[in-house]
Amino acid sequence: MRFMKIFLSILGVLLLAILGMVIFAPTNVAVETSEVIPASKTMVFQEVLTFKARDAWNPWTDMDPNIKQEIIGEDGTVGAKYRWEGNSDVGSGEQEITAIEGMDKVDTKLIFTAPWESEADTYMKLEEVEGGTKVSWGFSSEAPRPTNAMMLFMKGAIEKDYNKGLKRLKKLIEDNPMSFEIREKEMPETYYVGKRSTINMADITAYFTEVFPAAFAYVGKSGINATGNPMGLYYSYAEDGSSTDLAAVIPIENGNIVGSDFDLITIPAGKALVMDYYGDYNAIDKGHDEFEAYLLRKGLKRKFPVAEQYITDPTTVDDPSKILTQITYWLE
């Protein structure tokens, strides 16, 4: 009899505790965890935009080796869906991309169908910070009473999983080997002649086609010694990628030019990083992304301009992998 009284007392306390949680616990559960990854925003964005890329680092990959997965629609675009069906650890459901804000944020709607039905809004947010890119992973779900009490316990589990996933993402990017060799080099004072303008990114080829022949003609007529292939010196970019402050130039032996119809540009001697980028110029952003990641990992800072020297004329080769562009980043 005494045992029964004790049992009922304990049960009563538990019921009161549960009732208290149901009454006083919030009906909305929000989680956000963050990690700074030493890589460019572009490089990180490539790993969070698509469901396929996320599968390599998400924290639930190892929980069910037999999980069934399906991607519906064009992965990495609004409306694309990821459906899964797994064991009790990962459950079943689907996730849909609902919004993409440039490279700043990707929103998704998460719908669980097992082990119970629920919905949540999630996001991946990217921000350029000192030392790399800050990635914030967020989760928000309405939890009506009495299920709000259970969500209190789930919040800690979600935070733990999200932290695990972001650390896996960081390691994945840090362990990703560079595709191209980057060399440190002491650069002498260098001189260039050409034209500098702010132009639309779509007009770069036309701009080069106009300026390079005219600059070479001027160099030849003036008896100036050219010292290399034509180059693009990039001083700045519009944040939306629509335009660039660009100089189309020819490297020359010295800066003794008087009365030129062209711009004379001098870059002081200093330390620089140099990469021989082989590949289609339309994919050269990959080379620049690797440069940015290298700078972050080494704790280095570049200064403008950034140079691209066009060693191979793409019209002379059939294989894009043989097109050589030498990229130079001068260092502060």
pLDDT at 12: 44
Count each helix (H run) and each strand (E run) in the chain, helices first: 6, 15
pLDDT digits (tens, 9 = 90+) for 52-77: 889 889 888 778 888 888 999 988 89
pLDDT at 11: 40
Q: What is the mean pLDDT of residues 133-147?
A: 79
Task: Report the C-alpha gap between 306 and 304 in whole angstroms.
Answer: 5
Task: Report the C-alpha gap between 50 and 131 in whole angstroms.
Answer: 24
User: Mean pLDDT of all residues in the chain?
Assistant: 83
pLDDT digits (tens, 9 = 90+) for 200-244: 988 999 999 999 999 988 888 888 888 999 999 999 887 777 889
Tell whether the model's pLDDT for residue 78 goes beyond 70. Answer: yes
Tell whether the model's pLDDT for residue 96 goes beyond 90. Answer: yes
Tell me the pTM: 0.61
Does the bond joining 305 to the residue before it have cis omega, within 30 degrees of 0? yes
Tell whether the model's pLDDT for residue 146 goes beyond 80. Answer: no
Q: Which residue has the tokens 């639309």?
A: 200
Lowest-confidence range among 13-22, 125-134, 224-233, 320-329? 13-22
Tell whether the model's pLDDT for residue 181 goes beyond 50. Answer: yes
- Model confidence at 149, pLDDT cuts 50, 70, 90, reads low
Amino acid at 331: L
In DSSP terms, 109 is beta-bridged to 96, 121
Question: Buried b / exposed e across 197-223, counting CB within 10 Å, b at 16+?
Answer: eeeeeeebeebbeebbeebeebbeeee
- Report the side by side order of strands in the sheet with 81-85: 28-37, 132-142, 118-129, 105-114, 92-101, 81-85, 68-72
pLDDT digits (tens, 9 = 90+) for 4-61: 444 434 444 444 444 444 444 455 778 899 999 988 888 888 889 889 889 889 888 7
Mark residue 79 as left, alpha or beta (left: phi above 0; alpha: psi -120 to 50; beta: remaining). left
pLDDT at 151: 62
